[in-house]
Amino acid sequence: MSRHFTLCADDFAQSAAISEAIIELLAARRLSATSVFSQSPLWPALAAQLAAQPSAEVGLHFNLTHPFDDGARPLSHWLLNSQLRRLPLDWLADQVRRQLDAFTSAFGRLPDFIDGHQHVHALPQVRDALLSTLKTFGGRPYLRAPDLLGHPGDSRIKAMILKALCHGFARQAGKAGYHVPAWFGGLYSLSPEADYPALMDKWLATMPDGALLMCHPGSGDDADDPIAAARRNEYGYLASARFTESCERFGTWPRPRLN
């Protein structure tokens, strides 16, 4: 039986090289979605390129950690203060509005879905601000639920921590009326030494129909990007015949946009 999944490339508009690689993979139908840094100064000019890929789902990559503006802080800041319930809810809600406004201003419509850079959207308090602010925009983008992680990749401890920090997000989002894919994957060490093709085989073999799988392909050699080597490895694999052979072997393929 054939299974379909959403293969989403994170970090669109982080750099020109990352964005170019994602556009190429979308055009080749190796990806089904990408999520956008709407704060990036590159986003307004790149939006038309995504609009030219009608089969792609395009989402907002909600950001609090990548330094596009003065509000960014290291992930450790958000992890600690979200657990202590010390985050400023009004400021967070304003960030959600600003990033959604920047997305729609360039793209002409609301995102198909929302996820978060380093999964910050699903942290306590951040999720409250996200869900309350979404009500004012209308529409029903689906939401990535890191607490529904279905496979740890090569990082069991990292997977356990992520699920614990985001515990309850899927339930809260569902209660608010937002769809969340029931299985999420693609987590791994992002090390250049990781065997990404072997990991993909494990995800393809394990995932149910309708799963959501994240990836981080890119090209170029950005010295400021700590996962640049892993991005190149992912891009090379996803563009290769080995990826299509694995999809055929496991009877699954990235799902195109349905609406």
CA distance 43 to 53: 15
Query: What pLDDT is attached to residue 221?
Result: 84
Candidates 3.20.20.370, 3.30.1330.10, 3.40.50.1820, 3.30.460.10; CATH matching 3-254: 3.20.20.370
- At 222 the pLDDT is 84
**Per-domain residue ranges for the chain?**
3-254
CA distance 167 to 147: 5
pTM exceeds 0.75 for this model: yes
Q: How far apart are CA 171 and CA 175, in angstroms?
A: 6
60-76 core/surface letters (b: 16 or more CB in 10 A; e: else): bbbbbbeebeeeeeeee
Predicted confidence pLDDT, tens digits, the chain (259 residues)? 578 999 999 999 999 999 999 999 999 999 999 999 999 999 999 999 999 999 999 999 999 999 998 899 999 999 999 999 999 999 999 999 999 999 999 999 999 999 999 999 999 999 999 999 999 998 899 999 999 999 999 999 999 999 999 999 999 999 999 999 999 999 999 999 999 999 999 999 999 999 999 999 999 888 889 999 999 999 999 999 999 999 999 999 998 765 5
